């Protein structure tokens, strides 16, 4: 097993702020599309499971409903407050610095790892948190995910002299890259694939951008922010909106199932 080095920790991590109400309105697809990884996780009653990047706890609650003893971790105070109101056991912990030791049967993660740009630290913490032969199961943005959206943001950001560190700051690896990181971190990779998943956006592209693109858009004060959002939308319209005005996000998921060494 390869240990992370100081270089692995060096990359700055941009701060993404979340609004619980925006997330509930514009991000519900995150929960609606989780069926395949839920089945891959195969949670059983009595199992102890960590939900890494639990957000507002929508999926944490579903794992709990299966009879598992589930702990959620996230960095957003606002989303954690909503999860607590649902009666869930959640804690504020950075996914790069998980502090659990050999206590989980499985670590589950959905739509969170693309925010964690130091994957070796994350994988090392997951390996530490799992019991021998524990499962690490999840899905996040893979190589090519939101390529059109990220390109439009970069184009508008370059014209506006934006902060490059906050411009589309996501980790979208190939299966080869992430599979190698998992293997180096002490995991046997049982399944790993890129899954194209065009996602209809019920609240349009503006809802997506204002919810998931805040690390970029928040650097602009209003009314400039609304102009910048409008420019990104107009660049995207020919590719991601159909003739009836229905928007679809160009999501590509990296789905994986790995097992910690015995
Ligand atoms: C995604 O779910 O694919 C995603 C979310 C936030 C930023 C970028 C991508």
Q: Using the mean position of ligand 1's atoms as its centre, give its distance from the Cα of residue 144 in Å.
A: 11
Give residue 24 CA to ligand 1 midpoint distance, Å: 15
pTM above 0.85, yes or no: yes
Please state the atom number of ligand 1 nearest to the C-alpha of residue 253. Answer: 3
> Looking at residue 64, which CATH number applies to its domain?
3.40.50.150
Q: What are the residues whose beta carbons fall under 8 Å from the beta carbon of 200, sequence distance 6 or more?
A: 29, 246, 247, 248
Which residues touch 232 (CB under 8 Å, ≥6 apart)? Answer: 149, 152, 153, 156, 205, 209, 213
Expressed in angstroms and rounded, the spacing between residue 212 Cα and the centre of ligand 1 is: 6
205 within some domain: no
Q: Report residue 143: phi and psi, to 5°.
A: -50, 130
* Residue 43 resides in a domain: yes
Distance (angstroms) between ligand 1 centre and the Cα of 114 equals 7
Domain assignment present for 57: yes
CA of 69 to the centre of ligand 1 (A): 28
Specify the number of domains making up the chain.
1
Judge whether 42 lies within some domain. Answer: yes
**Cα–Cα distance, 73 to 195 (Å, whole number):** 25
225 assigned to some structural domain: no
Q: Is residue 156 part of a domain?
A: no
Q: pLDDT 10s per residue in the chain (262 long)?
A: 788 887 777 776 666 788 888 888 888 888 888 899 999 999 999 999 999 999 999 999 999 999 999 999 999 999 999 999 999 999 999 999 999 999 999 999 999 999 999 999 999 999 999 999 999 999 999 999 999 999 999 999 999 998 888 888 899 999 999 999 999 999 999 999 999 999 999 999 999 999 999 989 999 999 999 999 999 999 999 999 999 999 999 999 999 999 999 8
Residues with CB under 6 A from ligand 1: 111, 114, 141, 145-146, 170, 212, 251
Residues 6+ apart with CB under 8 A from 101: 128, 129
Rounded distance between C-alpha atoms, residue 135 and residue 217, angstroms = 36
Q: What are 204's two structure tokens?
A: 């349009």
Backbone angles phi, psi at 13, to 5 degrees: -105, 115
Q: What atom of ligand 1 comes closest to residue 212's alpha carbon?
A: 6
Q: Is residue 40 part of a domain?
A: yes
244: CB partners within 8 A, 6+ apart:
none
Protein residue whose Cα sits closest to atom 3 of ligand 1: 141
- Is residue 27, in this structure, part of any structural domain at all? yes
Closest residue (by CA) to atom 7 of ligand 1? 212
Which residue range(s) make up the domain with 99?
Answer: 16-147+170-200+250-260
């Amino acid at each position: 097993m390869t240990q992370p080095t100081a270089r692995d920790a060096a990359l700055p991590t941009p701060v993404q702020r979340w609004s619980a109400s925006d997330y509930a309105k514009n991000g519900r697809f995150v929960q609606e599309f989780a069926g395949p990884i839920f089945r891959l996780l195969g949670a059983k009653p009595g199992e102890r499971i960590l939900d890494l990047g639990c957000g507002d706890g929508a999926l944490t609650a579903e794992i709990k409903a299966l009879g598992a003893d589930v702990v959620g971790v996230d960095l957003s105070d606002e989303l954690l407050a909503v999860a607590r109101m649902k009666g869930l056991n959640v804690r504020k912990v950075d996914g790069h610095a998980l502090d659990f030791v050999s206590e989980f049967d499985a670590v589950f993660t959905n739509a969170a790892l693309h925010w964690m740009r130091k994957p070796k630290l994350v994988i090392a913490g997951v390996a530490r948190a799992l019991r021998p032969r524990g499962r690490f199961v999840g899905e996040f943005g893979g190589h090519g995910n939101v390529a059109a959206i990220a390109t439009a943001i970069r184009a508008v950001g370059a014209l506006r002299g934006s902060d490059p560190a906050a411009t589309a700051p996501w980790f979208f690896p190939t299966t080869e890259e992430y599979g190698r990181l998992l293997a180096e971190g002490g995991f046997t990779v049982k399944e790993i694939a890129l899954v194209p998943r065009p996602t209809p956006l019920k609240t349009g592209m503006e809802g997506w951008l204002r919810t998931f693109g805040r690390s970029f858009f928040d650097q602009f004060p209003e009314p400039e922010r609304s102009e910048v959002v409008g420019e990104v939308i107009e660049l995207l319209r020919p590719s991601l909106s159909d003739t009836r005005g229905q928007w679809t996000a160009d999501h590509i998921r990296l789905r994986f199932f790995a097992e910690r060494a015995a």
